[in-house]
Amino acid sequence: MAATPGTVRAESVSQPGPVLVPGRTCWRLEKADRMAVIIDAAAYFARIKAAILHARHTVMLIGWDFDTRIKLEPDDPMPDVPNELGDFLSWIVRVRPDLTINVLKWDLSVLKMPFRGRTPLVLLDWMSSRRLRFRLDSAHPPGACHHQKIAIIDDALAFCGGIDMTTDRWDTPDHRDDDPRRVRPSGEPYGPFHDVTTAVDGDAARALGELARERWRRATGEQLVPPPPVEPYWPEDLEPDFRDIPVAIARTDPLSDDWAADDEGRDKTGKRGVREIEALYLAAIAAARRFIYLESQYFASQRIVGAIAARLSEPDGPEVVVVNPERTPGWVEEEAMGSARSLLVQRLREHDPQGRFRILAPVTAGGQGIYVHAKVLVVDDRLLRVGSSNINNRSQGLDSECDLAIECPDGECPDGGRPEVCRAIRSVRTRLMAEHLGVAVEEVERTEEATGSLTATVDRLMRPAGRSLRPLEPEPLSETERRLVDERLLDPDRPEPMAETILRGATLFGDVNRTAWRIGAGVMAGAAVGVGLAVLARRNRLGKNFRGE
């Protein structure tokens, strides 16, 4: 039976064999001598600062956004070393004459710069620098964004995950209600923020270097030369979670070699670009036997939720625990992603007769919502994925994304394969759950052993007050909001001509209430931005980069 738009439908057969298959669910499998999962930006900012201090030849920073004013170490900055990102990078290339730093940022995020004090002046200086070079990346389809968050040091150490080096990100796993260190460069406080990234070395780091240089080539037309080999480096205070492990690199890339578009963004080949991340999600969900644990900023992908619903409808299907923020920032995001979550959760629960699904939001000791920006998937403690991709449509096909994944090979651990890998995946998951529930890791482990169930563990450890997780309930939706989700107008999964987007928006919002008119205005504004992006992309393709060359 054909599915109508927005329905939840997927294959429901559990898949045997490995999930990570190059060319299908990932780009490549490359060995990391060491891999660590870094939870929350306080730990990440300190580690990347130390890594850049150790760099000898090249640093590449690929991001959705950068804010040069952020403090990397609010707690205990290094003496005589600048602590603000912009000052730090400018200083390190002065004291290291052999070091080159390349910074690549999504072009549309530059619209925030007029509100960022001296950040535009710093970046203008970088644009004219030969060794600290800043470029804006417009090589994407209209309406898309570059969403990867990758840092590579000498091709010897790489970070890849969900954390941007920008404002409103720094926080510790304590997520204190009134942490005085959690302030914007303007001095204004922001709320608690949860995020996750990874560190890898070895061949995995070198492969991420190749990916980053390809992004730079597309954006600027310049082919960067790989750095010469250096001695292996690993941050002294970063304990690896995994050693000698094959790491999968999975991508979403609408501008891959098998995708081409005309000037209006129409796909001329009929192909969908690289959608390895979507394939990885679907294969991992199909392979689950006991449970699926997800952390994501959104819960809005119709295909992924459909795959989860199919598994929940099985008599012996897996349990599913999803950790989301209570709300998204901004009314446009809330209308698009919040409405999609409400509708899809309602439909998903219709497929969950045994009550094996939980969707939860973390809160502080004072009951304040902790914003979840992490993108994590754990299946049966046999597979772990951390990256930049969200559970929404555009992360599966429209935006550029990069995720890393590992799995315990050769059968279900601990009976086969490498049981230490499964134990380490379990350790990462229980650390995350303990952080959200406000309890010790040992308490999560004891409760899980006693109950034999992920959902029962969460149910037993949740508290009505204080630091904990709270159940999320779907919001009631208007008919317009339901149609908005089903049409995927604000969350498309593939490039689409701007004229078609405007026409569909006008049709959908032509005769609706005031709220819908606000959403419609947002759609039209988004379409106008998309046209601007198309112009910028065309300008970039003609060889005019932001140095005026």
Q: What is the pLDDT of residues 191-215, one digit of tens each?
A: 999 999 999 999 999 999 999 999 9
What Rg, from alpha-carbon coordinates, does the chain have? 23
Q: How far is CA 217 from the centre of its chain?
A: 23
Q: What is the pLDDT of residues 158-189, one digit of tens each?
A: 999 999 999 999 999 999 999 999 999 999 99
Phi, psi of 477 (to 5 degrees): -120, 150
Residue 171 makes CB contacts below 8 A (sequence gap 6+) with 40, 41, 42, 179, 182, 192, 193, 194, 195
Asked whether the beta carbons of 19 and 284 are under 8 A apart, the reply is yes
Please give the pLDDT value at position 72.
97
- Mean pLDDT, residues 345-352 taken together: 93
Question: Is the pLDDT reported for residue 257 higher than 70?
Answer: no
Q: Calculate the average pLDDT of the chain.
A: 84
For the ranges 192-196, 236-240, 471-475, 539-543, the lowest mean pLDDT is seen at 539-543
Q: Smallest Cα–Cα separation from 241: which of 372, 408, 388?
A: 408
Q: How far is CA 233 from the centre of its chain?
A: 25
How many residues belong to the chain? 549
Asked whether the beta carbons of 170 and 183 are under 8 A apart, the reply is no
Question: Is the pLDDT reported for residue 48 higher than 70?
Answer: yes
Residue 187 makes CB contacts below 8 A (sequence gap 6+) with none
Q: What's the pTM?
A: 0.85
The Cα 377–Cα 368 span in angstroms is 25
- Residue 68, both tokens: 């040069």
Asked whether the beta carbons of 234 and 34 are under 8 A apart, the reply is yes
The Cα 8–Cα 311 span in angstroms is 11
For the ranges 22-36, 115-129, 315-329, the lowest mean pLDDT is seen at 115-129
What is the distance between the terminal CA atoms of the chain, rounded to a whole angstrom?
55
Strand 100-106 with 132-137, pairing: parallel
Confidence label for 322 from pLDDT (cuts 50, 70 and 90): very high
Please give the pLDDT value at position 507.
54
Residue 270 makes CB contacts below 8 A (sequence gap 6+) with none
Question: What does DSSP assign to residue 104?
Answer: E
- Mean pLDDT, residues 461-465 taken together: 96
DSSP of 121-152:
HHHHHHHT-SSEEEEEE--S-TT--B---EEE
Paired strand residues for 274: 253
- Mean pLDDT, residues 399-421 taken together: 78
Phi, psi of 420 (to 5 degrees): -65, -30
Q: Which CATH architecture has domain 32-245?
A: 2-Layer Sandwich (3.30)
User: Would you call 237 exposed, middle or buried from its count of C-beta atoms within 10 A (0-12, 13-18, 19+)?
Assistant: exposed
The Cα 330–Cα 167 span in angstroms is 16
Residue 225 makes CB contacts below 8 A (sequence gap 6+) with none
Measured CA to CA in angstroms, residue 147 lies from 322, 439, 463, 518 at distances of: 22, 33, 35, 26
Residue 381 makes CB contacts below 8 A (sequence gap 6+) with 408, 413, 422, 423, 425, 426, 429
* Burial call 84-99: b when 16+ CB within 10 Å, e when fewer: bbbebbbebbeebeeb
Q: What is the pLDDT of residues 502-538, one digit of tens each?
A: 445 555 555 444 444 444 444 444 444 443 433 443 3
Question: Is the pLDDT reported for residue 113 higher than 50?
Answer: no
Q: How far is CA 339 from the centre of its chain?
A: 20
* Residue boundaries of the structural domains of the chain: 32-245, 489-541
Q: Which residue pairs from 500-507 have beta carbons closer than 8 angstroms and sit at least 24 positions apart in sequence? A: 501/143, 501/526, 501/527, 501/530, 502/527
